[in-house]
Structure 1
């Protein structure tokens, strides 16, 4: 329950007129602070972007639109007065005298992005931007778990656990709902905000409160953070010369790792290839397109359309089309770039998809450098599979549906989806 202090109980009414009087001495300071902050955080359109610093899903385009100054319906005298009034209330009445002014400004910028109602559109502080850029290089400090956003519950879930990671040692499980981080609720937080709270310096501890299917009580667990060097590609060879390659995400390092993995598998004379994209949250569009060019026939890989209908095609010349049967493993956490690859393979009838319907993230984000060490990530377009299908909110249905039996896996590492994938591959090899 919230306890609200009402000044009317003391025969006082705090209103804007009184605040004007109280803040006269502070107005100049407030105006300087907030006008500069709002111009950076709100009037993004007034900044000239020298180039797009990075794309999370979308990194193939070399040009970036010039963001030119113009009139704003948002920045008005009324807005500035209200901001000053709120600041005065904080300065004069908030029960703590030490207030982080940078955190206040960051809250304004984050709130503006949150107002769009898009969980993928966010504002990055300097430290958050640095962390995100390190992630795309395949190195970060955290617990070694993949986290996705459950759009139904509007909360974060564990979607994968890296072998040998702190998350595995702490016995985190796929599908665990992250209810609290360090005893603070995650409800209402974006995926990026949850992830940023879980991450931290190597050797430090994060306390997670998890909701786990089949457990009556919440799971309370401490996880010690570590430097995680993400092995984005791993390989194996099964009986009957069935090659297996797992891609955990599409980072800057992934393409070279994929090529090395495929070279190793080919040297062992594989007759079929299983590509495991389960719990792959996506990554760079340029990376997934480069990998697709190692597999697909000549034609479209994917295309995007922005709000004005401008289309951009990403194509393959077909010179490296794979010549052996393919099976792709997917699940409900295979998202974004992993859906681009699996969707193209399905559209070209190049292989069979096995597992569960994918996540359904058919939109593209772009990161704009605000030239002060911060950035905003904004959804800029939708993407479509070669057959013109936008899978956003729908996902891609597998050709063969099979559940993952987590209890069997916990007991003896039986992977029901992989076993079915091998079975489907053997059928393809027998034809």
Structure 2
């Protein structure tokens, strides 16, 4: 709990350290102030910003040095450009997330890095409360009800239009945290295979609020306790039809990620475009550029749309993915099987064939895939049985649940759950 007297004393000590020119002491005190939950004074904010600017400057210089080395080094000397998997960190992830590999493809997950995700969740609730506080209760209730009705289409196999003013906020409440949870684990699997570059260029198609970037940032944050992360730069290109999703995602990023004393060095570019009206040349995507092209949950129910968007995805991947780059696809289990008019089953061979067909339709070859799921079964379970299982086994959304109960009239506690196929491929 924040103690006003202790906070005041720390601030006085901080000011004294600055006057003495004791930067090391001032940084230590600033970290203690942030950890206590106290608000920064204006001088503390200025000092924090100065630290960030200095770090950005140092990162930029190191990046120039790294790029110079890359240009002048022989190909066989470029192994240091990817993060080397750390055995202790990998063990930590397996134990903390309770990862159980049931077979070659199925990975059950029932745990979480509580410290990392509690921080994200609490900050997101604070952000949403500030957003809702700008509206009258009556107006807010009407807008939320409309947005909830739109978002609910996802549950019945339809595609929402996502265009209502509070649809991004309802999405952030209902789906964002689980999306980050899934993408965090996808980045872990990529890292575990030694495929995560230190200078990573990402194209996120159907990016929404930037779940992919958040998942990577949180994953790297988890690793800070286990190894010295070299200077990392994320070039993140967001492509989505809804500018409100992109704006809210960036707004929260600035509030949460960039407020950290050691934030991830990331460059964002946002392009708002309807994927069905996509014009490759007009939208000026770079050729042979991206290390990862990621399509997460941007797969449609309508058959005509599926054919159309697959052609567009192939065009983008063919032209913009680097020759050694990867495509990461994330699709819910029910949506994947419904694309091919199949029921989920225990038949692993059938599952693998569907995944390969899914990739073939996009002109891709399989590297690996994992079925990330909360339960130990490939078959769907009833809502009542899953509810009981979740209450007894899955991590709770401690801060978001009260928000959902208050604004969305939800009657139960929310948990972090998974039912997605994470598929890594190459062209």
Identify which of structures 1 and 2 has the higher relative contact order when contacts are C-alpha pairs closer than 8 Å and 6+ apart.
Answer: 2
Normalized against structure 1, the TM-score is what?
0.29
Larger radius of gyration: 1
Larger relative helix fraction = 2
Larger relative strand fraction = 1
